[in-house]
Chains A and B, each alone.
Chain A
Amino acid sequence: MRLNDEQQMLQDSVARLMADKGPVSRLRELRDNRDEKGYDQPLWQAMVEAGLTGILVPEEHGGIAFGLVGAGLVAQEIGRNLSVTPFLSTAVLGATALSTGATAEQQSQWLPAIAEGTALVALAVDEGAKHRPDNLSTRYEGGKISGDKLLVLDGHVADLLLVAATDGSGSALYLVDPKASGVTIERTIMVDSRNAARIRFDNVDAEPMADGAAALQTALRAGRAVLAAELAGLSREVFERTLGYLKERKQFGRLIGTFQALQHRAAQLMIDVTMTEALALQALDACDNNADDADAQVFAAKGKAARTALLAGQEGVQMHGGIGMTDEFDIGFFLKRARAGGETLGDANFCADRFATLGGY
């Protein structure tokens, strides 16, 4: 697929915004200052003003309903700059879940708040080392939820928790107030310096959605597709920085980019990055168009992006040599984010398993 004029304009303006207001140096500042909120508040405010927080919010709730391709374009630039925002947790996962499965009343309460930037939302799904959304221990019974969650993105700053639980008949999402009694939140700063939380729910009041099962599945799909785009953007940035280094670093009296061993690896990396970008965009478009194979495309895109980003991160560090190992140099931040983003919402193996099942084998 190719971008239309509107999408192209969005990409250009978001690229400028992220490069100006959310560069890698901001991530470093937030980390070094042990920022209490753990995300870039001025950048988030600028995104609110640009309408980006409501990119998946329907127009009747104050959003711009630009579709997943649009959200993916934002994520791509986030990936390039490692911008620290609650975009994935709130604007993608939260907005998609609520607009898919919430009751009219829940939607009126939360969707305008997401678009206006007055509410942050966190999705609580995972319970152990690996993403297993169809096999949950967290129970919903008699209006109450009990269970333990981890990797709840932006969980310690959220105004609303969407908790995946089973009532015995399957996984669905429930609305929980993070301030409700019985909720214990532990902020966990992850290797990529992003926020996640471990949250314990001990017999906590929870509100069902109109269709919490669809909300969960649709949000997970949207999140995976958008993460694929973020990881594609990250991979592109690492590749370009590394290619630049091959053209300036000299050893043995010559540019290291003249060495065939490095040339061929750089070429292979570029090919993987370019394919990952194309597949991510195609998968986002398939979701927007409700294509028959949208699920398969998203699993393929997320799995491929997870592998490509990790490859890019590793090659980026290796080709930069010793300096790539230093904290002072930025390339390591990309490797860390590649690892965390790859794990989030299902790693490459999880995606391959689902992809194979959809393929009938």
Chain B
Amino acid sequence: MSDLEQFRAETREWLQANCPEEMRQPVRGPEDHCWGGRKWQFQSDAQRVWMERMAEKGWTAPQWPQEYGGGGLTPEQAAILDEEMKRINARTPVSNFGFWMLGPALLKFGSDELKRKHLPPICRGEIRWCQGYSEPNAGSDLASLQTRAEDKGDHFLVNGQKIWTSYADKADWIFCLVRTDPNATKHNGISFVLFDMETPGVTTRPIELISGESPFCETFFDDVKVEKDAVVGELNRGWDVAKYLLTHERNNIGGEPPGYLKGRALGPLAAEHVGTENGKLADSALRADIARLETDHMAFRALVAKVRAEAEAGEGVGALSAVLKYYGTELNKRRYELMMDAMGAEGLEWESERTQGGMFASEWLRSKGNSIEGGTSEVMLGIVSKRVLGLPDA
């Protein structure tokens, strides 16, 4: 038996013994997601036990080094763990912006001290992170951000406002872009700093979206004291970290829909609502639209597979991440439009038990943000034009 085969056998056995039955049920909605953190209320004992056991193995962050609380797995081993978890429908034990964003940034840019301080609590699910990037006047043009961190000798004093801070009201710590040199050109005076959301002077206010939900907040900083050693990477070089993370974030978008449509084929779903004639969807135009969407999605998956294979071969993804972000989010929007077409009047019920309180319409509306957050489609096309196609600036 090869090493990988043995790893698979051991992993399968361990998961079988340690993943509680309840944690093998499909996720029903956002409430089933375990975010972790100081304020987290576990939904059940099973959810807590599952997170703790996985954290103990280091498998909440399978590929991070063991010394920082991760699993130290190779990409091949991590793929096996992922497959074995999928095989039994095991839920993700815990995840938040600490895993997706801060961890990768710290691993690449952080000092050993910062890694030791922050990575293990992320792995254990003890600290939940949020991201402080956008500001009211710095959206697509993120580098024009104005939140100021003034050097006060032994600390920084932070003043300003962030917006679209995901779950700021529920997070424990924030990684935040602040201006540390107001005299430098706009990309060169920014630093990437970390601080506790409990620090005096931090306040948050949730923003209600068209979907009726409030995943984002406005976050205000009023004379917030931040330690000098809380800077990730070099002072005034925070834009490098931010760019790396944006690429990393876009790279993680595979175009697979979240929520209700996750793992659900649209064609058969549509058939349940609009009916069939001679085995074909009764609405022939809708049928053609769905087939075209699924064809494009299959093409997109083939592209994602190719890009990933090239990345593993060391050719790098680079600006192609903008391609994936652009097309994946546009596909997702098309998919939700067609879901609403298929559901017709049934999907429109907003206050109704039949739709679990407008879940379908809410997810449809939420999908509109996909092509705005993390860089708009137009910004992505601009990146592709310049960095992939080499077209000149105006």
Residues of A bordering B, CB below 8 Å: 1-2, 243, 246-247, 254-255, 257-260, 263-264, 266-268, 270-271, 274-276, 278-279, 281-282, 296-297, 299-301, 303-304, 349, 351-353, 355-357, 359-361
Contact = CB atoms under 8 A, between A and B. Distances in A.
Given A278-B306, A360-B267, A258 B392 contact: yes
A275 B302 contact: yes
Contacts of A257: 391-392
Contact of A300 (B265, B298, B303, B394): B298
A264 B381 contact: yes
B323 A274 contact: yes
B295 interface: yes
Given A260-B394, A300-B298, A352-B292, A359 B381 contact: no
A270 B298 contact: no
A302 to B, nearest CB: 10
Contacts of B310: 2
B390 A247 contact: yes
Contacts of B292: 303, 352
A361 B280 contact: yes
Given A264-B385, A359-B294, 8 more contacts: A260-B394, A266-B385, A266-B389, A275-B302, A278-B299, A357-B280, A360-B265, A361-B268
B299 A2 contact: no
A344 to B, nearest CB: 18
Nearest to B380: A267
B295 A300 contact: yes
22 contacts: A1-B309, A2-B309, A243-B389, A260-B385, A263-B391, A264-B385, A266-B385, A267-B384, A267-B385, A279-B298, A279-B299, A300-B295, A303-B291, A304-B298, A351-B295, A352-B288, A355-B295, A356-B280, A356-B290, A357-B279, A361-B268, A361-B280
Contacts of B309: 1-2
Given A257-B391, A260-B394, A279 B291 contact: no
B180 to A, nearest CB: 33
Contacts of A299: 295
Nearest to B394: A258
Contacts of B294: 300, 355, 359
Q: Which 9 pairs between the two chains have the least Cβ-Cβ distance?
A: A361-B267, A263-B385, A278-B302, A352-B291, A275-B299, A267-B384, A279-B299, A356-B291, A264-B381
Interface in B282-316: 287-288, 290-292, 294-296, 298-300, 302-303, 305-306, 309-310, 313
B268 A300 contact: no
Contact of A263 (B271, B303, B381): B381
B271 A361 contact: yes
Contact of A247 (B270, B287, B295, B391): B391
Nearest to A308: B299
Contact of A349 (B288, B326, B388): B288
A356 B388 CA distance: 34
Nearest to B312: A2
B268 A282 contact: no
B199 interface: no
A351 B389 CA distance: 31
A231 B98 CA distance: 44
Given A2-B309, A258-B391, A271-B384, A356 B296 contact: no
A352 B268 CA distance: 15
A296 B279 CA distance: 17
Contacts of B296: 275, 304
A351 to B, nearest CB: 8
A359 B265 contact: yes
Given A267-B384, A271-B327, A357-B280, A247 B291 contact: no
B281 A274 contact: no
Nearest to B266: A361
Interface string B254-272: 0000000000010110110
B389 A275 contact: no
Contacts of B276: 361
Interface in B98-142: none
B285 to A, nearest CB: 11
Contacts of A356: 267, 280-281, 287-288, 290-291
**B291, B388, B394 — most chain A CB neighbours (10 Å):** B291
Contact of A304 (B290, B295, B385): B295
A296 B291 CA distance: 11
Given A267-B381, A268-B381, A282-B305, A275 B300 contact: yes
Contact of A359 (B291, B302, B390): B291
Contacts of A361: 267-268, 270-271, 276, 280-281, 287, 290
A266 B313 CA distance: 28
B31 interface: no
Interface centre among A267, A301, A352, A361, by most chain B C-beta atoms within 10 angstroms, is: A361
Contact of A270 (B268, B281, B382, B389): B389
Given A266-B385, A303-B295, A271 B323 contact: yes
B378 interface: yes
Contacts of A246: 391
Given A356-B267, A361-B268, A361-B276, A275 B281 contact: no
A278 B305 contact: yes
A342 to B, nearest CB: 14
Contacts of B394: 254, 258-260
Contacts of B391: 243, 246-247, 257-258, 263, 266
